[in-house]
Amino acid sequence: MVGADAHASVAGTDAPDANRWRALSVTLVAGFMTLLDVSIVSVALPSLQQSLGASPAAVQWVVSGYALTFGLALVPAGRLGDALGRRRMFLGALAAFVLFSGLAGAAPSVGLLVAARLAQGFAAGTLAPQNSGLIQQLFSGAERGRAFGFFGATVGISTAVGPIAGGLVLALADGPDGWRWIFLINLPIGVVALVLAARLIPSVARDDRVGHIDVVGAALLGGGVLAVLLPLVQAESGGVARLWWLFPVGAALGAAFVGWERRTLRRGGEPLLDLRLLTRTRGYATGAGLGAVYFLGFSGIWLVFALFLQSGLGYTPLQSGLSVTAFALGSAVSAAVGGRLVERFGRRLTVIGLVGVITGLVATIAVVLLVPPGSLIWAMAPSLLVAGVGGGLVISPNITLTLREVPVRMAGSAGGALQTGQRIGAAIGTAALPGAFYLVLGATGQNYPLAAAVALGGAVLSVSAALVIAVLDLRHERKVRRRCAEEEAHTYGHAAHG
């Protein structure tokens, strides 16, 4: 079953599920919570390190361990959702996330905290592809575009507001153990979401499920993703220089995974990730590539801002987080609007959004270099608002354009693969852009504005590469439309002549 018939499987009829929008709201709240935990912890690392008496390398695993297991879980969990039912996988993953959030908040040592964060990240990565799969399952047509608009807004905003939320929690929960509330706040939200999700998310008829799980494919892909992500998430402690040899290992495992999946298809088996998604599903390969390249620049800029504003200008974590509020607000509004417009404008919407992001970031670079530190927060707001509005028109429309032609039976694995590319792009960005920041900082004798400007310039280059991909896809889209129109006109003329 594919596309427009997705919702029919819910009740065995052609009528869409009556609770679909309420179910979406609950799943997006849970998804927002898990994505927020990727970045919210960063601002709490100094107090966390002092409270537990931990080394900087150990504390870094609180952030990087979560990102690592999150990325590892995405594709296998998406496939399991396709096979076992997305409702079951969503509820199990959410329950595990809440449990491990509580254990993280109560951890008496950094070792137990890291272990809880690894498990928490795996639960979050298991939940994430169920969100996009459930949208494919519950919605069709223009409604699906709107639903993906809200989903895209959730992805974009959760990344942008992590520092703001972390700063607020630390400001309210004062004291040496205030960092624990970064994790404990997930408990009441998660429990309420779990109860509501159990009531609102429908099950799927058994004949829509696929029973076989490609264990060998999962092992090869997991090993490849681990080999690529591990050096990147440990970049701050010298992981890239120490573990560079894992990159060719990851490439070899990736090639082996592709070979195995093709072999599985030839033998009539059920692969972990059907590679025909890349070759036969319109828009999937382009959208996945665009998303990975965009997230490379998009995710890295928040860490650059935190380093520049806190280390360079002496801002508090809360002030640093609030300085990017304009981006989050612009992204929230435009993502919801973009979800409504994507069916009408298609890839043009993404092109417009990427131009907006580039324009906003270039203007922000000028502000960073020219405006005195005391006026920087207000001076950056207009340019970050422009970048945020552009960003909202990138993430949610791109998700819609990437996944709208994906068969519902493969929605989980396709969504997981899309987010895996985004996670890898984010890991590269959060390693490369701060690396450029520190490199310029050392070479210029602690010139913080110039270091921030160069790092943000790297983000502009990444977003520009995404723009090239979008423009090429737009040209291809127009050629296909023109060819279809010519064929229709030829057919009509031939019929009229006959």
Residues 239 and 233: beta-carbon distance below 8 Å: yes
Domain ranges across the chain: 3-213+272-497, 214-271
Tens digit of pLDDT for each residue in 208-234? 445 567 778 888 888 888 888 888 776
Tens digit of pLDDT for each residue in 414-463? 888 888 888 888 878 877 888 888 888 888 888 999 999 999 999 999 99
Neighbours of 318 (CB within 10 A): 18
Question: Is a pLDDT exceeding 90 seen at residue 471?
Answer: yes
Tens digit of pLDDT for each residue in 370-393? 998 888 888 999 999 999 999 989
Distance CA 90, CA 408 (A): 16
Listed residue (172, 237, 179) closest to 43, CA to CA: 179
Residues 426 and 295: beta-carbon distance below 8 Å: yes
Residues 260 and 217: beta-carbon distance below 8 Å: yes
Tens digit of pLDDT for each residue in 317-360? 777 777 888 888 888 888 878 877 887 888 899 999 999 999 99
pLDDT bin (cut points 50, 70, 90) of residue 486 is: low
The four Cα atoms 433, 436, 437, 443 give a dihedral, to 10 degrees, of 180
Percent of the chain as helix, strand, coil, to the nearest 5: 85, 0, 15
User: CB under 8 Å to 129, separation ≥6 — which residues?
Assistant: 74, 75, 77, 78, 81, 412, 413, 415, 416, 419
Question: Is a pLDDT exceeding 90 seen at residue 315?
Answer: no
Question: Is a pLDDT exceeding 70 seen at residue 313?
Answer: yes
Share of the chain above pLDDT 70, in %: 91
Eight-class DSSP state of 348: H
User: CB under 8 Å to 80, separation ≥6 — which residues?
Assistant: 89, 126, 213, 412
Residues 463 and 358: beta-carbon distance below 8 Å: yes
45's tokens = 């690392």
Of the CA atoms within 13 Å of residue 17, those in its CB half-sphere come to 27
User: CB under 8 Å to 488, separation ≥6 — which residues?
Assistant: none
Listed residue (155, 187, 183) closest to 169, CA to CA: 183
Please give the pLDDT value at position 13: 39
pLDDT bin (cut points 50, 70, 90) of residue 94 is: very high
User: For the chain, what is the mean pLDDT?
Assistant: 82
CATH fold of 3-213+272-497, please?
Answer: Growth Hormone; Chain: A; (1.20.1250)
